[in-house]
Amino acid sequence: MSYRTTNLRQPLTGLTIELDFNAVDPLEVARSLSQITGVSHKCLLISCDNLACLRRYGVCFFVSQLLLMRTYGITILLRRVRPELGRALRILHLDTIFRILAE
């Protein structure tokens, strides 16, 4: 993955990228995002309504991927979280680590 650099007169304070968890390697996106300089706050927005990895591998795999992405200093935003996943995140006290957006 490559990014084109642009000279800005003022640095960006934040950058949010919507991530299709089914289409790309989320860890590679997080690693690439962490290498972008000049941005103080980097976020990945993940829609949880149709995650193939949840059906195929389960909640533990999904959570481990999120935790690994977070090691790159990326803030994880989750939207369209189904009640079952939300409950699992709360039980594991991960609702304090990942931001769950109300819709």
Instruction: Kindly give the confidence (pLDDT) of every residue in the chain, 103 residues in length, as a single tens digit, with 9 standing for 90 and above.
Output: 444 444 445 555 688 888 888 888 999 999 988 888 888 888 899 999 889 988 899 999 999 999 999 999 999 999 999 999 999 999 999 999 999 988 6
In a domain, residue 64? The reply is yes
Taking the CB of residue 69, how many other CB atoms lie within 10 A of it?
A: 24
Put simply, whether the predicted model's pTM sits higher than 0.85 gets the answer no
CB 48 within 8 A of CB 81: yes
The CATH number covering residue 68 comes to 3.30.750
Domain of 26? 13-100
**Nearest-angstrom CA–CA distance, 64 and 38:** 28
In a domain, residue 58? The reply is yes
Coil vs helix vs strand at 28: helix
